[in-house]
Amino acid sequence: MNRKKMLALLMCAGLTAGMSLTVYAEESTEAASEAITEDAAETAAQTEADGEDLQDQLSAPTDFVMDPNTGEYSFTATDERTGYYFVRFYALDEKGNEEGEYITSSKRIKGGTTGTITGTLDLSEAAWGSYHVNLTAFAPAGTDIKNPDPVKLTVQYGVGQTLERPEMLVMTSGNQAELVVDWWTLCDYAFTQYMPSMEFTFYSDAECTQEVLTDVVDLEPLMDTLRKNPPGVIYIWGWSTSEGPHFYTAVNPEADGDSAFGASEKTFAFKNDIYTYELEAGTYYVTAQALTKDEFTLDSKVSTPVEITLTDEEPAEEFEYVTTELWQDPQLMDMPGANPGQQPDRIDTSAEQGISGKLID
């Protein structure tokens, strides 16, 4: 092959390769351009969808504050499409979960505007314990606009306050002591919606320095046994005329033969709030103290000690009893019962202390 022909072939090959590279580059550029166009279209579509979602969602109110002692509240309305608002209280369990229905609520707060809204919430139903205060915005009826999540505050009541000092009855037979928490004491705890733990301590000396036995029981389970007798609100903590082991005779000093005050006396056995202990023979001094379950409320004062004597015999039907000085028998109507706040001589009752709340969030 001569040099001219070879040169011509090489030139043809180079030209063909150059054309192929040019076509490939053009195709790649076109594909990339199409990909960018598709991405842009998807982004635009997503942005439009997000915008539609935002249009379908009410804006939550902001700057929600409340005075937990006066009930005065304020917040900033941010969306004039809101139909109305509610401020509501929910009691919390020991794990911080909302329990059941709200316990108090504001009236319906009119929406339709933006700016500061103020009001005062009735706190008469609030008691010791933890609560959520929920501010919820609602869309007008008949619209598809979604409601935002509630704005929440957490409030603790009973802050810095002291639990009521417990009163008790102690029945003894043989080597056994049965401790009964005073029903009026239980009623006052239940009224504040704060059932503490109770610590019973047995000492071997009158000065209460030589501890023999200490036991702590939780009073919260008693709420599952509580009954109320209509039409009055009489708290009934459990009693029986057929199941013992020991039957106590309660006296009603108000009766005086007047049937309007119920029976003058009634014999029954305590149930549910009775705690039984067996110890060696000897003389003991027994106290009770209500223990707080949180860092905001203070333990009660210790009850006055009661002196008991146990023997080495097995318990029998016969028994002796002794009470703390402010013990009061349950009142006797159709059945034994008690009501909160009807024993004004108690130590550190909630009625004497009022109520003190604090925002803890």
Rounded distance between C-alpha atoms, residue 246 and residue 269, angstroms = 6
Bridge partners of residue 291, in order along the sequence: 197
- Residues with Cβ < 8 Å from 346, sequence gap 6 or more? 164, 165, 167, 184, 185, 188, 326
- Nearest 5°: the CA angle 248, 250, 256 is 150
The pLDDT, as a whole number, for residue 260 is: 52
Using DSSP's 3-state secondary structure scheme, residue 298 falls into strand
Of 67 and 96, the structure prediction assigns the larger pLDDT to 67
Query: Which stretch of DSSP H or E encloses residue 47?
Result: helix 3-55
Cis ω before 148 (30° cut-off from 0): no
Split at pLDDT 50, 70, 90, the class of 265 is confident
The arithmetic mean of pLDDT across residues 303-322, rounded, is: 96
The partner residues of 331 in beta bridges, in order of sequence, read 337
Provide, rounded to the nearest whole percent, the portion of the chain with pLDDT above 70: 81
C-alpha distances (whole Å) from 263 to each of 100, 330, 331 are 38, 11, 9
269 near 247, Cβ under 8 Å?
yes
The model's confidence at residue 261, banded by pLDDT at 50, 70 and 90, is low
Q: Structure tokens of 40?
A: 């842009």
Q: How confident is the model at residue 135 (pLDDT cuts 50, 70, 90)?
A: very high
State pLDDT tens for residues 161-197: 999 999 999 999 999 999 999 999 999 999 888 899 9
pTM given for the model:
0.75
Looking at this protein, which amino acid is placed at residue 24?
Y
- Distance between start and end Cα atoms, the chain: 95
Helices (H) and strands (E) in the chain, counts: 3, 24
Q: Which residues pair with 179 in a beta bridge?
A: 170, 275
Distance CA 192, CA 240 (A): 27
Query: With 50 as the cut, is the pLDDT of residue 276 above it?
Result: yes
Most confident range, picked from 90-99, 174-183, 337-346: 174-183
- C-alpha to C-alpha distances, 186 to 246, 278, 339, nearest whole angstrom: 21, 24, 9
Q: What is the mean pLDDT of the chain?
A: 85
CA atoms of 250 and 266, how far apart (whole Å):
5
**DSSP-derived pairing of the beta strands 168-173 and 197-203:** unpaired
- The answer to whether the beta carbons of residues 359 and 68 sit under 8 Å apart is yes
The CA distance from 224 to 93, in Å, is 14
